[in-house]
A = this chain, B = another copy of it.
Amino acid sequence: MPRMNWLDDVKWDAQGLVPVIAQEQVTGDVLMLAWMNREALQKTAELGRAVYFSRSRNRLWFKGEESGHVQTVHDMRLDCDNDVVLLKVTQLGHEPGIACHTGRHSCFHQRLDKDQWQSVEPVLKDPESIYK
């Protein structure tokens, strides 16, 4: 019998996906949450760069393929229930790193304040100049 593959340990959801958190290694900032299918997770490990599965485009999404904002992966973690992945990454392509398609460092730029979500992170680069 072949040895159990590490990809088989992951509990994929009904759509064959798993949520993946990208955390910047140096700062500890949580940059984004995206999704991976089996192929994306395998490619991520193989290439040492984040490869997600785009649910809107229904295909593999090599993070940075358009923006140049590639994520180098240093560490891959799986949680206690085997159904969430955490990546420690370096966010390339800009200094400080831009993970968000809005041109911000982190996707989590809206803060709950007085019963409203307020955007509290600056746009580091105009998205129109990121996605030409």
Contact = CB atoms under 8 A, between A and B. Distances in A.
Contact of A32 (B30, B79, B101, B112): B79
Contact of A29 (B28, B81, B102): B28
Contact of A112 (B27, B28, B45): B45
A6 interface: yes
Interface string A71-87: 00001111111101010
Interface stretch (A58-66, A89-97, A103-111): A103-111
Interface size grouping (class) on chain A? 35 or more
A116 B104 CA distance: 34
Contact of A77 (B84, B101, B110): B110
A110 to B, nearest CB: 4
A128 interface: no
A81 B117 CA distance: 13
A100 to B, nearest CB: 5
B19 A30 contact: no
A104 B100 CA distance: 31
Interface of A: 5-6, 9, 19, 21, 23, 27-30, 32-33, 45, 75-82, 84, 86, 100-102, 104, 107-112, 115-117
